[in-house]
């Protein structure tokens, strides 16, 4: 009996890993369905109009980013309401990124993945940090910081769940 402890340990570990694998597969299926629902949500008309204008070359702004693609803008000159900016962020999280964007945005990952979440929040953070010392950017910086905080709070749990169950990139 004492000589078989290693054999029993292997059996216990095998059962444990089998349980973990079955649990992972079950949750992967659930999260996969949740992701499909996120991606298949309709895009509001006003965001569709922004996308159409962007594709037509009607673009105002400093950066042709995925956020600009969905019409996201911050600052007092634009005066876009919080709810509208946040909805544009949510749509950017779930949309396929167009090939017409600059090459530096090709690594933003697939829609509704942890990588997309990470790149979006890092981009908002970068925008705020780049301009926080510039005059007349105070409102825009507040918007970027507030929108980033909203995005982390609103999408952070879901993004981590996506990452944990196979949707990292």
28-50 pLDDT, tens per residue?
Answer: 999 999 999 999 999 999 999 99
Q: From CA 46, how far away is CA 66, in angstroms rounded?
A: 16
For the chain, which residues make up each domain, given as ranges? 39-164
Q: From CA 87, how far away is CA 95, in angstroms rounded?
A: 12
**Which has the minimum average pLDDT: 66-70, 98-102, 143-147?**
98-102
122-169 pLDDT, tens per residue?
Answer: 999 999 999 998 989 999 999 999 999 999 999 999 999 999 999 999
pTM over 0.85: yes
* Tokens matching residue 80: 């876009």
């Amino acid at each position: 009996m004492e000589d078989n402890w290693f054999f029993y340990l292997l059996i216990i570990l095998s059962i444990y890993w089998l349980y973990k694998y079955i649990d992972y597969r079950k949750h992967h299926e659930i999260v996969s369905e949740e992701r499909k629902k996120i991606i298949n949500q309709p895009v509001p008309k006003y965001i569709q109009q922004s996308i159409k204008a962007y594709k037509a070359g009607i673009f105002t702004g400093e950066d042709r980013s995925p956020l600009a693609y969905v019409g996201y803008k911050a600052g007092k000159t634009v005066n876009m309401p919080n709810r509208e900016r946040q909805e544009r962020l949510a749509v950017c999280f779930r949309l396929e990124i167009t090939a017409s964007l600059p090459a530096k945005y090709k690594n933003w990952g697939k829609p509704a993945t942890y990588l997309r979440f990470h790149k979006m929040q890092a981009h908002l953070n970068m925008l705020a940090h780049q301009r926080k010392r510039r005059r007349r950017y105070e409102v825009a910086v507040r918007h970027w910081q507030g929108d980033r905080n909203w995005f982390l709070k609103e999408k952070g749990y879901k993004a981590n769940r996506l990452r944990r169950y196979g949707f990292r990139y």
